Amino acid sequence: MLWLIILVIMLSRSVVQGAELPTTQTKRPGTEIALSNSQDTASAVRKVESEVVSFRLQGKKPYQSLNIDDMDVVLVDSNRRLLPLFRILNALQVKPTISGSVITFQVEGSPKTDLNISTKEMSVGGHPKPIELIESVSIITKERDVYLPPEAIGEVIAAVIKWDDTLYAYVGRTNNDLSIWDFAGTSSSKTQTNFASVNLPELFPPALPSNTSLDFMQMRLRSNTALADPSNPTRRWGLDNPELTLWGGLAKGQYRLGLLSP
C-alpha cells in the first residue's frame, strides 16, 4: 500500500513539470523576436525634412557668377543643412560616373573625388575619410540625390562656402576659372540662372505659329442722332461708315487688310 502511494505522488509531479516547461519556452522566443524586429524597423526609418534656399558661387571676376535660386537642402537639425551634390554638379556641367555604390567625378581645378555611398567615405585626391551623407529624392527635381555637408561640397569644388542668413543662401567663392564662365565681357546681371527642369504633364501639344492665321481684328463704326420731326422730340439714331481692319500671317509673312464702306 505504501509503495503504491509513493508511486502515485512521483507520477503526479512528473506530469505537472512536463506540462509547465513547454508553455514557458514557447512564449519567450516569440516575444523576443517580435521586439527585436520592431526595434530594427524603428531604427531603419528616418524622416527627412527639406527646405528651399539659394546657392551662389562667385569667381574672381564680377561676371563669374553661378546662381541656383531653388536649391533644396536636407535639414539635419536646426543649425545644420546638407546640400545636394548632383544638383550642384549639374549646374557646374560636371557629369559623375556611378559604378555600384561609388560615385566618381572631378570639378575643374579640383582633384578627383570618389564618394562611396555604402561605406560613407569620400576620397579627395586619394585621401579617404568618413563623411556624413543622406540619400533622398529631391523635392525640386524629383530625382535621386546625395546630400553632403557644405564643407564637403566646398572641398570638392575648391570653394569656401558659408551661410548668409540675410540672403537665406549658401554663398561660395572660388579662384578657379570654370568653363561655364568662358564668355568675356558679360555682366553678372546677364548670367543665366540655373533652374531645375521638372517634367510636368501637358494637356495640349506645344503651340507653334501657323503659316496662315488671323491674329487681330478691329472694327470701327460712326454713330449719329437726329430729330425725326422738329415738332416731335423723338430722335433717330444710326450707324454708318463701318471700317474693318485685319492683321495676320500669310505665306510666312504678315498682312494688314482694311475694309471700308463705299
For residue 141, the tally of other CB atoms under 10 A from its CB is 19
pLDDT of residue 94: 94
Q: How does pLDDT run across 55-107, given as a tens digit for each residue? A: 999 999 888 999 999 999 999 877 789 999 999 999 999 999 999 999 999 99
Q: How does pLDDT run across 18-33, given as a tens digit for each residue? A: 433 333 333 333 323 2
- 7-21, 61-75, 130-144, 239-253: the lowest-pLDDT one: 7-21
Give the span between the Cα atoms of 8 and 159, in whole angstroms: 89
> pTM of the prediction?
0.55
| pLDDT band (50, 70, 90) for residue 4 | very low
With 70 as the cut, is the pLDDT of residue 17 above it? no
Instruction: Please report, for residues 2, 15, 116, 127, 233, the alpha-carbon distance to residue 122 in angstroms, rounded to integers and kept in the order given.
Output: 83, 65, 6, 8, 97
Side chain identity at residue 11, one-letter code: L
Give the span between the Cα atoms of 83 and 81, in whole angstroms: 7
**Per-residue cell: 161:** 562656402
Q: How does pLDDT run across 175-207, given as a tens digit for each residue? A: 988 888 876 445 555 555 666 666 666 666 766
| Range(s) within the chain of domains with CATH label 3.30.457.10 | 49-190
Instruction: Please report, for residues 1, 34, 83, the alpha-carbon distance to residue 28 in angstroms, rounded to integers and kept in the order given.
Output: 43, 10, 46
**Per-residue cell: 195:** 533652374
Could you tell me which residue, 10 or 115, shows the higher pLDDT?
Answer: 115
Of residues 143, 124, 157, 135, the one with CA closest to residue 198: 143
Q: How does pLDDT run across 152-169, given as a tens digit for each residue? A: 999 999 999 999 999 999
Angle value at C-alpha 24, between 22 and 30, nearest 5 degrees = 100
Could you tell me which residue, 6 or 243, shows the higher pLDDT?
Answer: 243
CATH class, domain 49-190, is alpha beta
With 50 as the cut, is the pLDDT of residue 36 above it? no
Residue pair 191/63 in contact by the 8 Å Cβ criterion: yes
